[in-house]
Amino acid sequence: MGDPMAKIYRDQDADLGFLKDKKICIVGYGSQGHAHALNLRDSGLDVVVALPEWDKETWKKAEGDGMRVVRLEEIGGDLIAMLIPDMVQPEVYRKFVRDKLKPNSAILFAHGFNIHYNQIVPPQNVDVVMVAPKGPGPLVRRMFLEGKGVPALVAVHRNASGKALEIALAYAKGIGATRAGVIETTFKEETETDLFGEQVDLCGGVAEMIKMSFEVLVEAGYQPEVAYFEVLHELKLIVDLIYEGGIFNMWRAVSETAKYGGMTRGKRIFNGNTREEMRRILREIQTGEFAREWILENMAGRPVYNKLLEMEANHPIEKVGKEMRKMIPWLK
Ligand code: NAD
Ligand code: MG
């Protein structure tokens, strides 16, 4: 089942020297941008942040953190990191980045979508690399300050300079990721697994599992309050056990009845049909069908996205959840 021995890079495998004397331009100062910019600066590198003029609040925040901030028109340097939302990257690239890419300079991404689906096509003489932390920006910053790091994925889409991997690893070291370990991947693997995970498991799968089990209990006449605690609230305990020690750690911790019921019934929920549907969803990702749908949805002003979001916000579990969470002192 796949190659079990992924290449993992640690601190000693990466050399910050590949970014010394280079000008790094971080485009965006949001979740990832602020963490990367601050960590790279604190690693002794030459960093400037590029922001749109209309985002006054972020501009103030970056300057308050002591960063040098420039307008998008002034994007430039030896390494340009695209750390703005994926759906706005192509336009920003066309308007402000494409003509600034010098031969043998590098463009860096934290997610492979736009390169993998050809929404951004950098010139042949530029390194195209990815450093994708496996965690949100604030954690990337916090771990760095604690002398630790968040694991990351690294990939090279194009090695024009002959040193693209070394440069990406230097960047990964600069943000602290090699302290934890950096796994080598490809733009294809990172993009497709990321989309698959958020669709079937992390976001889509979990949300539907919670809502459907809530609906089944409520329509059978059970109180929504009791259903909420059972199918949503308690999920955190289970996920924490799995996160800390794996699935078997969870089985160890739950009751004998939960073990037997779970092991026999879980397979009826996630059955052969579910597996087939997961494979169909994966194929839509691999063929670019999902990417086309989402790109066109954005061009159309997100009519489906907005409607679905509204329906999610108005689901009965949100109303009961809002009340029930008032009972939980550690959530206040
Ligand atoms: P974000 O939403 O936090 O980015 C906000 C920044 O983008 C702000 O500085 C804002 O000024 C700028 N911005 C917004 N609209 C803009 C526009 N039209 N033109 C120019 N700038 C604009 O972004 P993020 O969540 O940090 O994601 C950045 C990249 O990192 C993405 O490729 C994402 O997939 C990837 N990534 C994110 C996470 C995460 O935890 N958020 C994790 C791994 C990878
Ligand atoms: Mg993801």
Q: Is the CB of 51 under 6 A from ligand 1?
A: yes
- CB atoms under 10 Å from CB of 115, counted, come to 25
In the residue annotation, 315 being an active-site residue is answered as no
What is the mean predicted confidence (pLDDT) over 280-290? 98
Centre of ligand 2 from the C-alpha of residue 130, in Å:
14
What is the mean predicted confidence (pLDDT) over 327-331? 91
Centre of ligand 2 from the C-alpha of residue 197, in Å:
7
Report yes or no: 150 and 135 within 8 Å, Cβ to Cβ.
yes
- Report residue 108: phi and psi, to 5°: -120, 140
Tell me which residue has its CA closest to atom 29 in ligand 1.
Answer: 83
What are 36-53's pLDDT values in tens digits?
A: 999 999 999 999 999 999
What is the mean predicted confidence (pLDDT) over 44-66? 98
Q: Predicted confidence band at 332 (pLDDT cuts at 50, 70, 90)?
A: confident
The predicted pLDDT at position 187 comes to 98
The predicted pLDDT at position 263 comes to 98
What is the mean predicted confidence (pLDDT) over 167-190? 98
d(CA 158, CA 175) in angstroms, rounded, equals 22
Centre of ligand 2 from the C-alpha of residue 229, in Å:
27
**Residue whose CB lies within 8 A of the most ligand 1 atoms, among 31, 128, 195, for a mutation test:** 31
The predicted pLDDT at position 255 comes to 98
pTM of the model: 0.94
What are 68-123's pLDDT values in tens digits?
A: 999 999 999 999 999 999 999 999 999 999 999 999 999 999 999 999 999 999 99
> Which residues fall within 8 angstroms of residue 82, CB to CB, at 6 or more apart?
27, 28, 89, 92, 93, 97, 107, 108, 109, 110, 114, 120
Q: Predicted confidence band at 3 (pLDDT cuts at 50, 70, 90)?
A: low
Tell me which residue has its CA closest to atom 1 in ligand 1.
Answer: 30
Residue 4 has pLDDT above 70, yes or no: no
Q: Is the CB of 112 under 6 A from ligand 1?
A: no
Centre of ligand 1 from the C-alpha of residue 37, in Å:
13
